[in-house]
């Protein structure tokens, strides 16, 4: 996948997480930062703050008195956090997308998933109870965050089983179409 497209896809995925759970996108970005990462999101105090806010949202979200995520007070923070988390995650990519494009992808996905999540909770909550519907939504948000922030990311699997995607296959022989893998030349 094109590195810029991959960065935008990751930005959209982490924005979707923010649409489902407003605080979880930034928490996932902060907690998946590598030790060598010099960004603000890798700092210990940011990690602690994002973990505390994500935990608070996890607990509060199960309460029936929480207002709809589609009110301005619920939607605007999701859009902003979706944009910020999308931009922060795209900066980690090999070929990052422009910050504006990554922020837009994160915000659009956050808005779409906020609407989808609200619809899910309304329909599924009526059938199974709100706590079950919220738990399913939590699982979806965690899965999206994992895909967005994982090192393997959103790349399709390598077409040759057993070979690393980024392995140098054409090294040293001078002959096009051959590799140094134990199974011999490519055909």
- Is the pLDDT assigned to residue 93 strictly greater than 90? no
Contact criterion met (CB below 8 Å) for 89 and 149: yes
Residue closest to 22 by CA, chosen among 151, 101, 118, 133: 118
Tens of pLDDT, residues 15-26 = 999 999 999 999
Tens of pLDDT, residues 65-91 = 888 899 999 999 999 999 999 999 988
DSSP line for 77-145: HHHHHHHHHHHHHHTTSSSPPPHHHHHHHHHHHHHHHHHHHHHHHHHHHHHH-HHHHHHHHHHHHHHHH
DSSP line for 6-40: HHHHHHHHHHHHHHHSTTHHHHHHHHT--TT--SG
Residue 87 pLDDT: 93
- Is the pLDDT assigned to residue 104 strictly greater than 70? yes
**Token pair belonging to 169:** 């296959």
**Token pair belonging to 93:** 């990519």
> H or E segment at 146?
helix 130-149
Residue 167 pLDDT: 42
Question: If you average pLDDT over every residue of the chain, what do you get?
Answer: 83
Distance separating alpha carbons of residues 133 and 117, to the nearest angstrom: 10
Least confident of 55-59, 102-106, 139-143: 55-59
Look up the pTM and report it.
0.78
Percent of the chain residues topping a pLDDT of 70:
79
Contact criterion met (CB below 8 Å) for 145 and 17: yes
- Is the pLDDT assigned to residue 49 strictly greater than 90? yes
DSSP line for 37-94: --SGGGSHHHHHHHHHHHHHHHHHTTSTTSPPTTSHHHHHHHHHHHHHHHHHHHTTSS
Residue 64 pLDDT: 75
Tens of pLDDT, residues 135-177 = 999 999 999 999 999 986 555 555 555 545 444 443 444 444 5
Percent of the chain residues topping a pLDDT of 90:
57
- Is the pLDDT assigned to residue 59 strictly greater than 80? yes
């Amino acid at each position: 996948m094109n590195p810029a497209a991959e960065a935008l896809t990751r930005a959209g995925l982490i924005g979707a997480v923010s649409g489902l759970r407003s605080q979880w996108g930034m928490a996932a970005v902060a907690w998946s930062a590598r030790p060598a990462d010099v960004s603000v999101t890798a700092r210990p105090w940011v990690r602690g703050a994002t973990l505390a806010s994500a935990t608070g949202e996890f607990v509060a979200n199960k309460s029936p008195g929480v207002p709809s995520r589609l009110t301005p007070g619920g939607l605007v923070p999701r859009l902003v956090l979706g944009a910020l988390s999308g931009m922060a995650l795209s900066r980690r990519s090999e070929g990052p997308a422009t910050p504006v494009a990554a922020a837009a992808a994160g915000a659009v996905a956050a808005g779409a998933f906020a609407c989808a999540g609200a619809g899910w909770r309304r329909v599924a909550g009526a059938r199974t109870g709100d706590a079950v519907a919220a738990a399913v939504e939590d699982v979806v948000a965690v899965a999206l965050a994992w895909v967005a922030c994982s090192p393997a990311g959103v790349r399709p699997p390598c077409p040759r089983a057993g070979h690393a995607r980024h392995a140098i296959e054409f090294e040293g022989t001078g002959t096009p179409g051959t590799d140094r893998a134990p199974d011999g030349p490519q055909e």
